[in-house]
Amino acid sequence: MYQKQLELNMPALTARLYELYGSRWDFYQILARLEAIMKKAAAERKSGYLFEADEDALSSENGTPWYLNQKTVGMMLYVDLFADNLLGLIEKIPYLKDLGVNYVHLMPLFDCPKGENDGGYAISSYRKVQPRLGTIEDLKAVAAEFHKNGIRLVLDFVFNHTSDEHEWAKKARKGDPKFKSFYYMYKEKSEVDSWNATLREIFPTVRRGSFTYLKESDEWVWTTFNSFQWDLNYSNPEVFLAMCEEMLFIANLGVDVLRLDALAFVWKEKGTVCESLPKAHTVIQAFQYVASIACPSLQFKSEAIVHPDEVIKYINGSECHLSYNPLQMALFWSTVATRDTRLLSVSLKNRWSVPKNCAWVNYIRCHDDIGWTFSDEDAGWLGINGFDHRKFLNRFFTGRFEGTFASGEPFQLNPTTGDCRICGTMASLAGLEQAENLNNEELRRMAISRMKMMYAVQFALPGVPLLYAGDEKAVFNDYSYRKVASKKEDSRWVHRIKTDWSGKSECKSQKIVADFVKKVIALRKEEPGLGGSDIFFYDIQDSHVFAFRRGTIHVVANFSDSPAEFMIDAWSENSTDLLTGRNFWNHQKQLLAPYEVRWLKEKIEN
């Protein structure tokens, strides 16, 4: 298997590496070293689940991939918040199976600094699990038990940066020239300023600019995100080779999918914004060809929270077959705030299409904040000012707009521009927290309907529907993070919540939502028409309604708290709503109650 994959993919890999490092005198030595790394990793996959997964991936290349099967349903979770530790996670497998989840993304679990560590995204060692979670052997045990139970394992590959406590960073601090060249380190402030002149500030409340001053060595190090996250220098081939070893080590633990964290930032060129540069794609393609040779079943998932035109560029057979869908996520929230589906409808119609055998990972909430990554061009076409609309959304979801139902927290508020991102659980942002706090039955009914509608639309879209642990139970924000020194400056902890397995704190409205989530997952799994990638978006008839068709299933959703109407374009006279079992006549406008959604499957008579 290895030799065949090597012969098939090595020419493309060599071409990518030549683009990056071809001017070096030792280019062919770099290739030889990389081939030895890949051969060693492949030899470790010659039996068991990984061997079978590789064989299956290669034998079914022309079929429908598993992530386009309607039975694939995902969840992302923090091990400690969900199950205390890795061995405890094994005990929660029955819960996952009962819910219908068979794709589980474990939030960062590799060793990281104590205290502030960006939720684990500051890696101190790619080969050691955080001691409080367990060991590498425990992680292997989780992978084995997941696979026995038909669950695929997803982990993060944090490859743009390491923590400042990583062995490489420690050696760089001590002046080791080899490891100083693993990072971007400069003595001259003028050099730092020349880079900063064109860079976007990602975390403006942490530090202005993209560099951190190291007092002990009187120099500056590139830190795009937090000051303890040092950006790796991929213009140095030693970094690429070292990170290939780390990637293949992680893959061989039993991992099915790697989420490529912050992939847009991995290549730097002076005078540019250093985001989504052409050679960033080259680096990712090189990693993809390494994986295709050494671990053919491994899939990459893109995490590019950038302009929609840039997001789509990472989704292809040479980079990432899977990608988060930040546009769908952001516009779901935008639409429930405005009750106007035009921006959602136009944007997804224009920007949904992905290459064959690729798929979106559709989500409503995740571990991270909500950034308003819609296209200003799409908004402008509808007469919407993008800047003003983002200001409105920030006010709406942080409770600063009259009549809002949302209970959210601002994240990384930029003191200069007033821009921020939004944190909170789905239930809190969708109004259920407010309804329960006010004990208002009408607000409660609307919030429940709003959440059910959003879930029903998410689970009808092509791709992988992804839940964020806790949202399936409609949990509310946890504001206790404000009292914890290591968390109080990071409002994302408001939705990073310890799972309450006792159920004692669950209220009736949360139980209604939880039951619906379980129901809609089961319905999706039973309906082959919701598999595959085909989708047709309807033109706007009523600005309250978002609608699309999957084969002979028409999904119509009222995103507002007012009645609406819509007429589907169906071949047959009648259809059945898969969500309720009710029958409808197709050749007249259908009246939709506030937040009502229907999965209308045509009754085709032979």
Q: 258 with 247: CB under 8 angstroms?
A: yes
Neighbours of 36 (CB within 10 A): 11
pLDDT on residue 535: 97
pLDDT in tens, 81-122: 999 999 999 999 999 999 999 999 999 999 999 988 888 999
CB neighbours of 201 closer than 8 A, spacing ≥ 6?
208, 209, 210, 414
Does the pLDDT value for residue 421 go beyond 70?
yes
- What's the token pair of residue 78? 């923090």
Q: Is the pTM of this model over 0.75?
A: yes
Q: 172 with 185: CB under 8 angstroms?
A: yes
Where is pLDDT greater, at 312 or 605? 312
φ/ψ bin of 175: left (φ > 0), alpha (ψ from -120 to 50), beta (otherwise): left
Does the pLDDT value for residue 414 go beyond 80?
no
pLDDT in tens, 237-253: 999 999 999 999 999 99
Question: How many Å apart are CA 457 and CA 460, to the nearest integer?
Answer: 5
% of the chain at pLDDT higher than 90: 89
Question: How many Å apart are CA 218 and CA 213, to the nearest integer?
Answer: 7
Q: Considering the domain boundaries, does residue 144 fall inside one? A: no
Q: Which residues of 450-475 are buried (b: 16+ CB within 10 A; e: fewer)?
A: bbbbbbbbbbbbbbbbbbbbbbbbbb
Does the pLDDT value for residue 205 go beyond 90?
no
Specify the CATH number for the domain of residue 543.
2.60.40.1180
- Taking the mean position of all CA atoms in its chain, how far away is CA 469? 13
Beta-bridge mates of residue 409: 423
Helices (H) and strands (E) in the chain, counts: 21, 25
Question: How many Å apart are CA 45 and CA 210, to the nearest integer?
Answer: 40
Q: Considering the domain boundaries, does residue 575 fall inside one? A: yes
Does the pLDDT value for residue 148 go beyond 90?
yes
Q: Considering the domain boundaries, does residue 176 fall inside one? A: no
- Taking the mean position of all CA atoms in its chain, how far away is CA 576? 33
Q: Considering the domain boundaries, does residue 376 fall inside one? A: no
CB neighbours of 331 closer than 8 A, spacing ≥ 6?
343, 344, 347, 348, 374
CB neighbours of 325 closer than 8 A, spacing ≥ 6?
360, 361, 362, 363, 463
Does the pLDDT value for residue 325 go beyond 90?
yes
pLDDT in tens, 516-565: 999 999 999 999 999 999 999 999 999 999 999 999 999 999 999 999 99
CB neighbours of 370 closer than 8 A, spacing ≥ 6?
329, 330, 333, 397, 421, 422, 423
Q: Considering the domain boundaries, does residue 446 fall inside one? A: no
Report the mean per-residue pLDDT for the chain: 95
Does the pLDDT value for residue 605 go beyond 90?
no
- What's the token pair of residue 541? 């008839």
Q: Considering the domain boundaries, does residue 585 fall inside one? A: yes
Neighbours of 94 (CB within 10 A): 10
Q: 529 with 546: CB under 8 angstroms?
A: no
pLDDT band at 263 (very low <50, low <70, confident <90, very high): very high
pLDDT on residue 64: 85
Does the pLDDT value for residue 206 go beyond 70?
no
Q: Considering the domain boundaries, does residue 540 fall inside one? A: yes
pLDDT on residue 486: 82
Give the chain's domain count. Answer: 1
Q: Is 1 helix (H, G, I), strand (E, B) or coil?
A: coil
Reply yes or no on whether 261 is catalytic. yes
The DSSP 8-state label assigned to residue 538 in this structure reads P
Q: Considering the domain boundaries, does residue 52 fall inside one? A: no
* Catalytic residue, candidates 165, 261, 369, 602: 261
pLDDT in tens, 482-515: 999 888 888 999 999 999 999 888 899 999 999 9
* Catalytic residue, candidates 303, 369, 472, 542: 303
Reply yes or no on whether 303 is catalytic. yes
Residue 570's domain comprises: 536-602
Question: How many Å apart are CA 599 and CA 606, to the nearest integer?
Answer: 22
Q: Which residue shows structure tokens 């299956």? A: 56
